[in-house]
Amino acid sequence: MQILYQDEHLIAVNKPAGWLVHRSWLDRHETQFVMQTVRDQIGQHVFTVHRLDRPTSGVLLMALSSEVARTLSQQFELHQVQKTYHAVVRGYVLEGGTIDYALTEELDKLADKHANPDKGPKPAVSHYQPLAMVEMPVAIGRYATSRYSLVELKPQTGRKHQLRRHMVHIRHPIIGDTAHGDLRQNRGMAQHFACPRLMLHASHLQLAHPVSGEPLHISASWDAAWQGVMAQFGWLDVLPELVGVEFP
């Protein structure tokens, strides 16, 4: 596991796509968990303070004590941590904007079987900005070519699958999103561009250090699958600071 930052109070890693953050009774057949891997790697117990969806890669922050975990969790709950993601989406995103669209909580059939299914939608706000666009000579669906955009996403709130659901709401689903996205585009990306993963990456995390109060900015590079798409689309120069294969 690639460590992005570590001191005596906290640790940040570049979570690989497809890894679960921690083990639960629902995942008894799984073998790859970030928390257990990092614990074994540094020989110290770690505490979660936020989550990344299993198919999402990028910056994952963990505390090295329960006290620091509480402080960091409060920062996330109070929206004092700035999270920046990048995504490849279907179609041309011509201008930036803000999506203010309340979301009903998504419940897991097993993990949330005792939860109230009738909860109303909760406020959810995301900011987006297009960075690059491309038209590829590949027929996916009814058109002879396929159009894609690279976008920067900044969630203001933290609802489950918020960015994925918000991009579907404005008709630009994130490529590789099997739960909410465009199945034909997902298959096309895997077939023509050798990328079967969700194209959503947590690139940057900015916060005040929970002990010193000093500004902390942590960044995570793209993996090989991301960089393969960036190279094929001619986008490697758009965000050069994120170029760098991290996972063999």
- Report pLDDT digits (tens) over 28-50: 555 678 999 999 999 999 999 99
Report the C-alpha gap between 202 and 218 in whole angstroms: 10
Res. 142 pLDDT band, cuts 50 70 90: confident
pLDDT given for residue 244 in this prediction = 75
With 0-12 / 13-18 / 19 or more C-beta atoms within 10 angstroms meaning exposed / middle / buried, residue 225 is: buried
Report the C-alpha gap between 86 and 199 in whole angstroms: 8
Q: Which listed residue (7, 53, 112, 177) is catalytic?
A: 53
Model confidence pLDDT, tens digit, residues 97-126:
999 999 998 765 444 444 455 678 999 999
What are 202's strand-pairing partners?
A: 58, 85
Report the C-alpha gap between 199 and 85 in whole angstroms: 10
Q: Using the predicted structure, report yes or no on whether residue 146 has a pLDDT greater than 70.
A: yes
Model confidence pLDDT, tens digit, residues 151-183:
999 999 989 999 999 999 999 999 999 999 899
Q: What is the mean pLDDT of residues 206-234?
A: 95
Report the C-alpha gap between 30 and 40 in whole angstroms: 17
Report the C-alpha gap between 239 and 213 in whole angstroms: 28
pLDDT given for residue 101 in this prediction = 96
- Closest of 193, 194, 195 to residue 176, by C-alpha: 195
Report the C-alpha gap between 66 and 88 in whole angstroms: 36
Sequence-distant contacts of 114-118: CB under 8 A, at least 24 apart: none
pLDDT given for residue 10 in this prediction = 97
Does the annotation count 27 as an active-site position?
no
pLDDT given for residue 113 in this prediction = 46
pLDDT given for residue 108 in this prediction = 59
Report the C-alpha gap between 51 and 108 in whole angstroms: 16
Residue with tokens 């895997």: 190
Report the C-alpha gap between 161 and 214 in whole angstroms: 30
Q: Using the predicted structure, report yes or no on whether residue 245 has a pLDDT greater than 80.
A: no
Alpha carbons within 13 angstroms on the beta-carbon side of residue 101 total 15
Model confidence pLDDT, tens digit, residues 68-78:
999 999 999 99
Mind spelling out the 3-state secondary structure of the chain? CCEEEECCCEEEEEECCCCECCCCHHHCCCCCEHHHHHHHHHCCCCEECCCCCCCCEEEEEEECCHHHHHHHHHHHHCCCCEEEEEEEEECCCCCCEEEECCECCCCCCCCCCCCCCCCCCECCEEEEEEEEEEEECCCECCECCEEEEEEEEEECCCCCCHHHHHHHHCCCCECCCCCCCCHHHHHHHHHHHCCCCCCEEEEEEEEECCCCCCEEEEECCCCHHHHHHHHHHCCCCCCHHHCCCCCC
pLDDT given for residue 153 in this prediction = 98
pLDDT given for residue 116 in this prediction = 55
